[in-house]
Amino acid sequence: MLLNGALLALLALATTASAHTTMSRVFVNGVDQGEGKNKYIRSPVNDGQVQLQLDKKNNTAPFIACNSKGDIAVPQFVKASPGDKLTFQWFREDPKEPVIDPSHKGPILTYIAPFFATGFGDGPIWSKIAEEGFVSPAWATERMRNFTGGMVDFNLPKTLAPGKYMVRQELIPLHLADRRGDIEKTRGPEFYPSCVQFDVAGGSGTAVPNQNFDFNKGYKFTDPGFDFNIHIPFTTYPIPGPPIWDAK
């Protein structure tokens, strides 16, 4: 059965209180770095769901980069080396659904930028290093919820130059994305961006992120990956944003 928009919106409202999820910890080559909220993760206020830059007037547009507290540096850095396998774990405070609500289906994308100590990181500084969309029969968020206990794996580029970085991962649930958020305020994709501070050492790489992607300019309401109806049959999903950065 297909749910109509009004019913979906109602359901979304009804589950708002604990519907969302936040990044809780990082593993480096499988080694747990400990609880990271507000330690090495710039954890957002509350559950940190962000809409595509609607509200320039109230200055919430910058939140699309590293969320509502993206401008506040946290005390620690995760230490890693180029090529390392990283795992970001997402957690939700609900024993029945400890990862993410099953309605929240969509891609998971990961970006990197040079470290910044001030500002929200909402300029043209980001490069995409990983992406997972829809691989039949499951969305990235479904694989995470059903099979990995909230863990999302990816690798740092082998050629990455040593230095301090921000690694930003976002979940993009699409359950309300059959209507564009600029046309209907309560609709459109939801964004859960979260940024982790990294100190990368070792390797012989010299690649510095240079895709210069800006979320406020590069993500558009009309992108086929954002203006997308998951409630009707489809075969492929166009992942939003730039291609994976060719780190050289």
Among 13, 14, 19, 138, binds Cu ion (CB under 5 A): 19
Structure tokens at 32: 């747990």
Q: Using CB under 5 A, which of the segments 12-20, 89-97, 144-152, 195-203 binds Cu ion? A: 12-20
Give min distance, CB of 19 to Cu ion, in A: 4
Nearer to Cu ion, 106 or 240 (CB): 106
Cα atoms in the Cβ-side hemisphere of radius 13 Å centred on 119: 9
Q: Looking only at residues 208 through 247 of this chain, which bind Cu ion when binding is defined by CB under 5 A?
A: none
Q: Using CB under 5 A, which of the segments 13-21, 126-134, 180-188, 224-232 binds Cu ion? A: 13-21
Which one, of 119, 106, 230, lies nearest residue 169 by Cα?
A: 106
Nearer to Cu ion, 132 or 190 (CB): 190
Could you tell me how many residues make up the chain?
248
Nearer to Cu ion, 139 or 198 (CB): 139
Give min distance, CB of 20 to Cu ion, in A: 5
Give min distance, CB of 161 to Cu ion, in A: 37
Give min distance, CB of 112 to Cu ion, in A: 26
Distances (CA, A) of 167 to 11, 26, 40, 43, 103: 32, 11, 11, 13, 26
Rounded CA gap, 105 and 168, in Å?
A: 19
Which one, of 148, 147, 149, 152, lies nearest residue 130 by Cα?
A: 152
Q: Using CB under 5 A, which of the segments 60-68, 125-133, 187-195, 198-206 binds Cu ion? A: 187-195
Nearer to Cu ion, 131 or 190 (CB): 190
- Find the residue with minimal CB distance to Cu ion: 19
| Phi-psi group of 121: left, alpha or beta (phi > 0 → left; psi -120 to 50 → alpha; rest → beta) | left
Q: Using CB under 5 A, which of the segments 51-59, 147-155, 182-190, 230-238 binds Cu ion? A: 182-190
Backbone angles phi and psi of 92, in degrees to 5: -130, 135
Nearer to Cu ion, 80 or 176 (CB): 176
Site residue total, Cu ion (CB under 5 A):
2
| DSSP-derived secondary structure letter, 164 | E
Radius of gyration of the chain (CA): 17
The contact set with Cu ion (CB under 5 A) reads 19, 190
